């Protein structure tokens, strides 16, 4: 075994310090029971979500009832009055959580766009999980009133009561069974920051005249007047202004509960991302680059301090780097504000491997510089 020189002691210390740093960065802020960051506006109707905030119905519920046993679609309408904190941001505004299904109805902010994702049938009858994009509606920092009506003829989007977009997607009934969540997703860390001033759900497609009339009612802070509307399933004007319950003023849907602590209903270990986004590319680069120096340091330590061969040092560096990444991903599965992803594990191992392989080149460069600087 090589002698324990001061240089090797420093190398061991740097390896341990780097390992601790990776664990801290991977698990920060170490909060397994974070506060639910939801607050009433106080001086007006509405509620604010400050990233990791949520509210949800306290029981499984059928959001819309099937129109008939043989029906291939379930008509519905959603009215939501919202304002994101940032234009160029991501997050889930509302979703339906069904533990038996990997995906259900979901409304997301995607930069300046709003996207409704759900199971729809196209004009030819093909069933699939499809997005309905409402583009560039958050470019200006103002509240938007969005109405989405969907039925056998297709799906129509209205902004401030005016028709903006139509797509020939008819909804499938499987979208709407489960818990309604506002401000977050039930199965992944998809935090959103913004304000919701009103929300209503109907079990039919509203007409264009009704959409315009409802917008005027909401805009006049008279959302309660819609309680007698035919087909209303839920009506949340957010007029309580305090407390831990948001009452449904009409229809069979349960009230929304504002919990004290934020958590995700279904945590996934080494989850497979359903949709890759541009932000995932940046995450991959960070995960690879962060583990390259760790792999290099480990390989140097195993070769110099323990005396392993080049290939043994590389192999053990990859094992330790992989175990470190696996530990981080395992603990992240229990952190509501973090995501456990198999892509992160793969990228971390890739970074460790690149760093370990680069050890020999670094050693050669160091010896060359040492000889160059030594007197002849």
Secondary structure string (H, E, C) spanning 202-215: ECCCCCHHHHHHHH
In eight-state DSSP terms, residue 136 is T
Task: Report pLDDT digits (tens) over 324-344.
Answer: 999 999 999 888 888 888 899
Task: Find which of 52-61, 282-291, 303-312, 345-354 is predicted with most confidence, using mean pLDDT.
Answer: 345-354
Residue 29 pLDDT level (bands cut at 50, 70, 90): confident
CB atoms under 10 Å from CB of 96, counted, come to 24
- The token duo for 369 is 């510089």
Q: Is the pLDDT of residue 188 over 90?
A: no
- Structure tokens that stand for 288 in this block: 């690879």
Is 172 within 8 Å of 121 (Cβ atoms)? yes
**Residue (of 75, 108, 93, 95) closest to 202 by Cα position:** 75
Residue 372 pLDDT class (50, 70, 90 cuts): low
| Count of other CB atoms within 10 angstroms of residue 269 | 12
Percent of the chain with pLDDT over 70: 88
Find the mean pLDDT for residues 163-182.
86
CATH topology of domain 38-257: Jelly Rolls (2.60.120)
Which of 99-103, 118-122, 270-274, 315-319 is most confident? 315-319
Question: Under 8 Å CB-to-CB from 70, ≥6 apart: which residues?
Answer: none
Q: What is the 3-state secondary structure (H, E, C) of 137-180?
A: CCCCCCCEEEEEEEECCEEEEEECCEEEEEECCEECHHHHEEEE
Per-residue pLDDT reduced to its tens digit, 271-288: 776 555 656 788 899 999
Q: Is the pLDDT of residue 256 over 50?
A: yes
User: Residue 261 half-sphere exposure, CB side, CA atoms within 13 Å?
Assistant: 9
pTM of the entire structure? 0.82
Nearest Cα residue to 272 out of 103, 48, 76: 103
Distance CA(66)–CA(63), nearest Å, equals 10
Q: Which residue has the higher pLDDT, 338 or 49?
A: 49
Domain ranges in the chain are 6-31+274-373, 38-257
Q: How would you classify the pairing of strands 76-84 and 192-202? A: antiparallel
Mean pLDDT (the chain, rounded) = 87
| Max Cα-Cα span within the chain | 96
Tokens of 74: 């379930």
Q: Which pLDDT value is given to residue 189?
A: 77
The DSSP code for 261 is B
Cα of first residue to Cα of last residue in the chain, in angstroms, is 32
Nearest alpha-carbon partner for 82 in 72, 91, 73, 69? 91
Picking from 213, 260, 220, the residue whose alpha carbon sits closest to that of residue 237 is: 220
- pLDDT class for 134, splitting at 50, 70, 90? very high
Alpha helices, DSSP H only, in the chain?
Answer: 6-27, 208-219, 278-304, 310-332, 342-357, 359-373
DSSP 245: E
């Amino acid at each position: 075994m090589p002698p324990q020189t001061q240089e090797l002691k420093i190398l061991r210390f740097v390896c341990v310090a780097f390992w601790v740093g990776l664990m801290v960065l991977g698990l920060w802020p170490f909060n397994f029971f974070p506060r639910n960051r939801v607050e009433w506006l106080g001086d007006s109707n509405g509620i604010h979500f400050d990233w990791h905030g949520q509210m949800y119905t306290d029981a499984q519920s059928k959001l819309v009832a099937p129109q008939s046993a043989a029906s291939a679609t379930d008509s519905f309408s959603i009215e939501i009055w919202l304002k994101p904190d940032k234009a160029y941001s991501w997050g889930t505004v509302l979703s339906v959580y069904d533990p038996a299904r990997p995906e259900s109805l979901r409304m997301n902010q995607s930069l300046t766009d709003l996207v409704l994702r759900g199971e729809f049938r196209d004009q030819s009858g093909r069933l699939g999980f499809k997005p309905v994009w409402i583009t560039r509606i958050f470019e200006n920092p103002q509240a938007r009133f969005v109405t989405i009506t969907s039925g056998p003829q297709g799906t129509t989007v209205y902004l401030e009561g005016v028709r903006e977009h139509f797509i020939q997607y008819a909804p499938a009934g499987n979208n709407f069974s489960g818990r309604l969540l506002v401000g977050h997703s039930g199965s992944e860390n998809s935090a959103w920051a913004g304000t919701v001033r009103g929300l209503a759900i109907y079990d039919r497609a509203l007409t264009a005249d009704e959409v315009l009339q409802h917008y005027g009612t909401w805009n006049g802070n008279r959302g309660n007047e819609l309680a007698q509307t035919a087909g209303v399933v839920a009506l949340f004007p957010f007029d309580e202004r305090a407390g831990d319950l948001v009452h449904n003023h009409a229809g069979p849907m349960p009230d929304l509960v504002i919990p004290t602590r934020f958590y995700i209903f279904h945590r996934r270990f080494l989850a497979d991302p359903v949709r890759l986004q541009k932000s995932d590319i940046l995450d991959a680069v960070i995960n690879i680059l962060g583990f390259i120096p760790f792999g290099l340091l480990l390989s140097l330590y195993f070769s110099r301090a323990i005396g392993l061969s080049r290939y043994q040092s590389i192999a053990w560096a990859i094992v330790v780097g992989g175990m470190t990444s696996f530990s981080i991903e395992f603990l992240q599965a229990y952190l509501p504000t973090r995501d456990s992803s198999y892509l992160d594990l793969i990228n971390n191992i890739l970074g460790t491997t690149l760093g370990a392989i680069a050890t020999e080149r670094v050693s050669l460069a160091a010896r060359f510089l040492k000889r160059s600087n030594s007197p002849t």
